[in-house]
Structure 1
């Protein structure tokens, strides 16, 4: 089985990144989903115009990630987020892009 990493890159209005980071401080349903390995939220440094976060999730395989995306939990979580963003005309998120990567090489600390 080949692990995969899903990276959702969010472009955010300058000065509003902390609002989005707060959404990820507490684990959600994805953290309990079968095949989920871990999540990282990366904040890009030295931005000039917009700010950027990368929400990275690692999965045991593409099949597990696909199952999560199709799950009711995922649909419910994303529908609630979209509804919340639609309510606010001043949403901090300017855009997003999902990229998928095969984890080809991974090193862990030597003992």
Structure 2
């Protein structure tokens, strides 16, 4: 088993990154899912035409991440369960321009030294 990290890179309308980041401020169902290690939200700096967030979740093993993707909790977290279609007004107010998911396997990790 090897830890892995999933990174969801989200392109956002310029000036609206904090609005999207705030959606991740409160823990949701992923935080209690088996194999979940941590979540971090990063904002890429110095992009001129849009903002960019990286939602990084680390898992004990890829199996847990795949289970999360298939889970009912994932559907709920992303609003896919019995949700009415967006109105044209709601779609216009959505600051997200696009997203891309990448996964990485941890090959080397250094933690802070423990003093004895």
TM-score by length of 2: 0.88
Quick check: 1:48 aligned with 2:39?
no
Matched, 1:96 2:99: yes
Cα deviations by residue, 1:70-92 (Å, 9 ceiling, x for unpaired):
111111221359x5893412210
Matches of 2:85 and 2:16 in 1, distance apart? 14
Partner of 2:2: 2
Give the match for residue 63 of structure 1.
63
Q: Which deviates further from its counterpart, 28-37 or 85-94?
A: 85-94
Distance in 2, matches of 1:37 and 1:77, equals 18
Q: CA deviation at 1:42?
A: 0.2
By how many angstroms is 1:53 displaced? 0.2
Runs of 4+ in structure 1 deviating by more than 4 angstroms, as ranges, are none
Any unmatched runs of 5+ in structure 2?
Answer: none
1:39-87 superposed Cα distances (whole Å, 9 cap, x missing partner)? 0000111111111000000000110001111111111221359x58934
Corresponding residue SS for 1:86:
coil
Where 2:52 maps in the other structure, the secondary structure is: strand
The two structures, once aligned, show a CA RMSD in angstroms of 1.8
* Structure number with bigger Rg: 2
Which residue is 2:111 aligned to? 108
- The verdict on how the C-alpha distance between 1:85 and 1:110 changes in structure 2, with shifts beyond 3 A counting, is farther
Displacement of 1:18 in angstroms is 1.3
In structure 1, runs of 5+ residues without a counterpart are: none
